[in-house]
Amino acid sequence: MIQDKRKMLILKWLIQLQSETYLNKVEELYKEFQKSEYEAKIKPMSLDELYEIINQAEADILNNRLIPHEDIVNYFEKI
């Protein structure tokens, strides 16, 4: 509950903030936080995993398990 009060105080301060300098610093802090959160979720791929994906892709090509480029473009245009 104390944490919620602290958050509310900070949000009220941000809403009333007029200083471009402080706003830029808060924005920079936010971007750094977002970046560190994203990087914490990234797991490097091992070479074995990479080769497995490549081998699977090559097998898909040999077995004609392909999706035409136009179908992919059309799919994403509908989203």
**pLDDT tens-digit map of 9-25:** 999 999 998 999 999 99
Give tens-digit pLDDT for 24-40. 999 999 999 999 999 88
32 and 49 assigned to the same domain:
no
Domain that includes residue 28, residue range:
1-42
Claim to verify: residue 9 and residue 24 sit in the same structural domain: yes
Whether residues 51 and 23 fall in one domain:
no
Number of other residues whose CB lies within 10 A of the CB of residue 26: 15
Q: What is the mean pLDDT of residues 36-47?
A: 90
Residue 21 sits in the same domain as residue 55: no
Domain count, the chain: 2
List the one residue out of 5, 10, 16 whose CA is nearest residue 29: 10
Q: Which two tokens stand for residue 69?
A: 């480029």
Same domain, 35 and 54: no
Q: Supply the pLDDT for residue 13.
A: 92
- Let me know whether 20 and 37 are in one domain: yes
Tell me how long the chain is.
79
Alpha helix (H) residue ranges in 19-68: 20-41, 47-62
pLDDT at 48 over 90: yes
Q: Does one domain contain both 36 and 54?
A: no
